Structure 1
């Protein structure tokens, strides 16, 4: 439904801290009946104790878009210690910013935070030691990342409270950073990744000034702590929209900040190797397996499988991303007289691992990637070398290697060979 949002002064509210824009219950589709009972119970308990309590962020956004939220986050003016005195089934977590997790018998966890102010960091590589500067609902809305994530739902009155113009941007399918884009991205460059994530996930366009600021500040991502950037990249791989995100990363320049080698590979491998000896490497491989188009196919398959909620490990997702890079190296250097196993091993070590290092993968993650690729290579050779069947059946990485090969054949609509079906879980045979 189209929300009734176009009232005088709504656009100026994005840049100045004014009175909030209020949507009355009859002006939006959210009702308390769609809220989980444990969420309502927590809200009511906080209210009865005299505190403000709202559903905030993505839960409100998803309900307005007629999507089922994965979880509901709550914000209140009660401090963490005050919340703990109200709920026996809770625990305070976090050092930099204290969050309260309330646990239920069915395993459900509700996250409750206290309204807080935006605290500036002295250095992007040095995490804040204390971010527990509490504030008002308005302060809390303005410190959030996107306007569409700055919405509050008051279950007691049924009203939606919008300080930042998020309702209007939801109507217009726009992803917009809260506040002045250049300043917000300089404060925390990771916000650029989040803008692209939400735009890709919701199929929204990125507001012009926000996009220009991302392109202008893309190189500043290198100033952030490496583990934090890696975690954001892995979130993209897991999110079910990585193909479109990678396109936006490349167009904005963020891909260079993740890995210059990955960016350069995409620039130089748009066409397949014309002089290759790919028939030496199994019956399935074609020259186009080592191109950016192949990477796009793999990422598309990852998105489809994620939408089907198939259990995919980070190792498999990374292998799907890197597989065309390894094949491009093999197809380029696969001259007669070079042992196939040695060639593949060098491709992984010389072409894949340097990019994995750019992304700051941990040693265990890189080792798992190498093991998956070794089993994957043996699967390619299995039809010609039956002696590989026994070692593959005992290899703990064969399942993920088979999933990777099945992903690559499935997205290209190749018929699945019987020898590959034997290595797959039966639940995947009908995909």
Structure 2
């Protein structure tokens, strides 16, 4: 019996493979769809592909999600909301918070669609359940303006608002386009190159070819030649093939040196990095600081923005929307560099952006009870509301308008005295 949801998901994956005018039987269509899905999963064996999507998903999964309340121009962090625990630690499912976010991002990158069922009880979200992409299919209506879609999971019908959806390049809010589909042909060439290299290694680097004979060989001679040939390509013994008089070996393939496989591997790795929008030196560990910042800004932050939008649209109630919002704590991206953290916190404390205990809290250190902001005696403070100037060094407060008036009055007196003289 065919699983309807899986079959529907496979149909959309290879819709472009079938010509519009071509009619296929159900068995033929299922055969093409199954082969396509299997081939896509095999593409994940390419080292640069697995390295790229694992790097992106693990980086995002390591960032905690925070909840903020914006009211009256003031932003207040909310620490005791149960939804934060679902997103960061215990999802209520078999996956923890890290695995949950990583699985969603992996599906987003590879297949264009990451789904999680939101288990609501009345107005409370009790758990989040990640669903494998292959188990989800989408049914769309034919209205291009007032679009409506429903989601099928194992044949059961659900509405869009019941799911947290992380979609890549979506045009209907229910489906997306993954990198495996977008770059299928290019990735298949890279995979075939990798397979050819494996074949060369398994055969000891021996070239493929065929035997030319001036005379017709007897069945016994053909059998003996095949046996010697198989022994040579097994690569487990030092075997050789004896060519009798009149037999010649004709090459039918180039060697790995002639095909420049090593150079092709480097080029292919660079092409894969382009697909995932990752600087090539990130994977080999030799990236500069500028390249790392580029990776964060151009690769990580756009996905975070889309993830945050999905969280705000699905996990907030109508009353909370516009007042509360979820946001990833990107400060964790700099946690690995102690010198940068100390420099940044020192500048923030110096210029009054943070208090000392606030900086210590970011480093998970015990507060010192120093609830104040540092000010230098050389600073002059101006209050734009009361138009007062306060000088800490002399402990004096001056009205700026009265100061101007005094200067004008003194100038008038001096000018009148000089004219009398």
TM-score computed with the length of structure 2 as normaliser: 0.23
- Structure number, greater radius of gyration: 2
Relative contact order (alpha carbons < 8 A, sep ≥ 6): 1 or 2 greater? 2
Q: TM-score, normalised by structure 1?
A: 0.22
